[in-house]
Amino acid sequence: MPFSALPAPIAQALAARGYAAPTPVQAAVIDADAERDLLVSAQTGSGKTVAFGLAIARQLLAGDNAMPPAGAPLALVIAPTRELALQVSKELTWLFGEVRARIATCVGGMDAVRERRTLQHGAHIVVGTPGRLRDHLERGALDLSALMFAVLDEADEMLDMGFREDLEEILDATPPERRTLLFSATMPRPIVALARRYQKDALAISTIDEREGHGDISYQAVAVAPADIQNAVVNLLRFHEAETAMLFCATRENVRRLHTALVERGFAAVALSGEHSQNERNQALQALRDGRARVCVATDVAARGIDVATLSLVIHAELPRDPDVLKHRSGRTGRAGRKGTAVLVVPYPHRRRVESMLRGARIDADWVEAPTPQEIHAKDRERLLAALMEPVETSDEERDMAALLLEQRGAEDIAAALVRAHRAKLPAPEELVDLSAEGAMKAHHRAGFEDVVWFRMDIGRRQRADVRWILPLICRRGHITRNEIGAIRISAGETHFQVPRAIEAKFRAALQRTAREGAEDETGIRIERAPEQGPQAEQRPKPHKLHAARPWRPEGPKTAGPKPAGPKPGGKPKKPRGK
């Protein structure tokens, strides 16, 4: 048997859960040579939670395959987040269920008094987050004098989150003869330094293939106009129609905004970020697991430890900061042999940065176009036909209802009503700016604009102006469509564009309503009627400093380029100091 080297109660628990063979990381840690300190590098979803349970089982159950009476903990597992700690506790509970091990969980957001009471009654294994464990240690509730194992799960993330001092205080309170098992998806220098300080003769185990990011994940990258990020996310969700999808943002505020926008469009979505209480987080996760919600918008930290079996799509709505974060996020899908898709939504000015990140992560991503409404509708037809062609079992009541409908309406009318009812539940896809050269030409240089009025904006090439984000900006400010915009000409300090003379009055009125003088976002950009002869090379007022329009644009700088040196035009010279 693959698990024959393990204590019998542990092997029985594995068999009861359907484990036929160990994963690579599990096989490595139960090897006879691995009975020492371990420095394990393994991908998210590789079965490492069960792996460190197996690594400590043989020594904990030495002799009669039974646990000693509960007292001071024998093993301590430290995880970066509440969700991951609760998940680890749940896994260890069934793994050690046959020997009735007492497992205490100590995490932030829970009742600390109850946790201290549990520790006083004794526990074999304690699982917790660094801050809460340190608090119990300093209050004298956590006794580590008998500890045999210290396990650090996702150690790289704990250091990134600023838990170094907490970890050091906890580990310094453990016996020197304890074994230290350090699990981390990546091995940056701080992890190596931590291992050198607290481990002795550690065995390094790596089950990550350095040549690829993750064998069960298909990576895609979609370049979009910066103002189209949210619309691209909508279309990706609609195109894939994943049973469960996770969207990543960098901040709580962006999680809140994107979640609100998706709910308004009709998506069954939940949000996870640091501002949510533990009860809210539990409700959100339960909604994902039972199918009441299909989309989760989360920050990197809030998503740690989440394991939803149906999760097949990850969308990076905001770009990850480095290759490690990219792999951590994407690792939420493609787990335990299941296939998954990870899509990066890339504002086109950041394409080179993303290409560099993908090379650093050793990930081969396909650059694809964002799904169009036409492609989404075609997918909808395929899915609907496939669903209706599947054999179904019907009750007598359902057959009676079908017969009644056929008596009153024709079969074609009933089918059409079914299609309409199905489509009514689906959020509408969004029109995106065409980034191709052909699309730009069609949008900006069409026939039929013989009688036009020229307008000018106080941004130009020096502010990195580009037609791909200027076009939606004009539409938003002037309450018109892109089909009502003619030629666009960008010069060094300003931009000129055409609108039909017939809509000039409506356009100018909308510009006045959407303008905020002095604002640093797009509402502060001055848009005004240009001379009848069109773009001129004359001296213009100082241009607006906005880099790009951003109704929802987390990526990119807020200002463009260095400010010109010297005094402002027309400004008074500064007086010498002391005079």
Report the pLDDT value the prediction gives residue 248, as an integer from 0 to 100. 94
Read off the tokens for 95.
């793994």
Q: Give dist(CA 465, CA 573) in Å, integer.
A: 31
In the predicted model, what is the mean pLDDT of residues 125-147?
94
Query: Of the given ranges (12-21, 99-108, 443-452, 520-529), which has the lowest mean pLDDT?
Result: 443-452
The model's confidence at residue 437, banded by pLDDT at 50, 70 and 90, is very low
Instruction: Give 22's contacts (C-beta < 8 A, 6+ positions apart).
Output: 2, 3, 30, 47, 54
Domain 217-374 belongs to what architecture?
A: 3-Layer(aba) Sandwich (3.40)
Instruction: Give 182's contacts (C-beta < 8 A, 6+ positions apart).
Output: 37, 38, 39, 40, 151, 152, 155, 191, 194, 195, 199, 202
pLDDT tens digits for 494-518?
899 988 888 899 999 999 999 988 8
Q: Is pLDDT at 448 greater than 80 in this prediction?
A: no
Read off the tokens for 294.
């299909």
330, 314 contact by CB (below 8 A): yes
Indicate the fold that domain 8-206 takes in CATH.
Rossmann fold (3.40.50)
Burial group, residue 189, by CB count within 10 angstroms (0-12, 13-18, 19+): exposed
Q: Is pLDDT at 425 greater than 50 in this prediction?
A: yes
Q: Give dist(CA 79, CA 147) in Å, integer.
A: 17
Alpha helices in 266-410 (DSSP H): 278-289, 323-330, 351-360, 373-389, 396-408
The model's confidence at residue 434, banded by pLDDT at 50, 70 and 90, is low
Q: Is pLDDT at 122 greater than 90 in this prediction?
A: yes
Query: Of the given ranges (42-46, 60-64, 211-215, 232-236), which has the lowest mean pLDDT?
Result: 211-215
Domain 437-529 has CATH 3.40.50.720: no
Backbone angles phi, psi at 401, to 5 degrees: -65, -40
pLDDT tens digits for 267-310?
999 998 877 877 888 888 889 888 899 999 998 877 766 777 78
Fold: same for 8-206 and 217-374: yes
Which of 467, 474, 452, 479 lies closest to 526 in space, CA to CA?
474
Domain ranges of the chain: 8-206, 217-374, 437-529
* Average pLDDT score, the chain: 82
Query: Of the given ranges (53-62, 175-184, 248-257, 377-386), which has the lowest mean pLDDT?
Result: 53-62
**Residue 248: which H helix or E strand, with range?**
strand 244-249
Query: Of the given ranges (89-103, 256-270, 476-490), which has the lowest mean pLDDT?
Result: 476-490
Read off the tokens for 412.
């074609």
Q: Give dist(CA 169, CA 131) in Å, integer.
A: 10
Report the pLDDT value the prediction gives residue 221, as an integer from 0 to 100. 95
How large a percentage of the chain has pLDDT more than 70? 84
Report the pLDDT value the prediction gives residue 260, as an integer from 0 to 100. 92
Query: Of the given ranges (97-111, 158-172, 348-362, 546-560), which has the lowest mean pLDDT?
Result: 546-560
